[in-house]
Amino acid sequence: MARARQGSPAPGTRGGLRAHAVLMVTAVALVLTGCTDPPPDAPPNDPDSVALRITTATDGGRLDEDDRADVESAIGAVLSQYVGAAYLGDHPRSGYIEALERFTDGAAELAARDLDVLTASDDDEFSSVLATRLDTDLSLYAVDGDVLGATARVHFAFKATTAEDTPRELRLDGRLMLTPTRDGWAVFGYDVSSDDGSALGEDDS
């Protein structure tokens, strides 16, 4: 099991820790208000992979259905791009850094050091990876009908095949913090753990 935890400033804030705390506090309140039905599943990057499934906690009805659906769709696109570039498809390959394309500049700089946790880049034995579970619990922070931030609690599982056709299960669990930017939604912080299905060594944590 490996873990990566970083936060970078969201646009319009002063400091990553402050932005992280604001989003986490509001997310707890929103989760308690209930859930809405997930939007239609987006097509997976691999036809044999499952599709992304999003369940959203509302903020007491201050978002109308169309606005909520728009936010879900936009954030779903960010998560789908990340999963596709970080995990799905043929391996080994170069270009795992493309998984950070929808991260803010600050978060991407930090996340580049954690590619072994955030992607399947740490094992050159894999020949292919497909998704078996892509569940996301999405909490939205909205004020006066404007969504100012979101926390995506992700529970992702993948089946990796090695060159010797040995199956391995990969898992990614934790939180991705997102913010709207001029170029659309982007990840500005993360607190995730990953498991590549192999036995832990003495130095692993």
Give a yes or no: residue 11 inside a domain. no
Give a yes or no: residue 8 inside a domain. no
Q: List 160's β-bridge partners, or say none.
A: 129, 168
Domain of 86 in residue numbering reads as 16-195
**How many structural domains are present in the chain?**
1
> Rounded to an integer, what distance in angstroms lies between the CA atom of residue 62 and that of residue 104?
27
pLDDT score recorded for residue 80: 96
pLDDT score recorded for residue 200: 35
Any idea what the Cα angle at residue 121 is, between residues 106 and 196, rounded to 5°? Answer: 110
pLDDT tens string, the chain, 205 residues long: the values are 666 666 544 544 333 322 222 233 233 323 323 344 433 344 345 567 899 999 998 654 478 889 899 999 999 999 999 999 999 999 888 889 999 999 999 999 999 999 999 999 988 888 999 999 999 999 999 888 889 999 999 999 999 998 777 789 999 999 999 999 999 999 999 999 999 876 433 344 3
The CATH number linked to 123 is 3.10.450.540
> Rounded to an integer, what distance in angstroms lies between the CA atom of residue 25 and that of residue 39?
25
pTM of this prediction?
0.76
Q: Whose structure tokens read 């990340």? A: 82
The answer to whether 91 and 128 have CB atoms below 8 angstroms apart is: yes
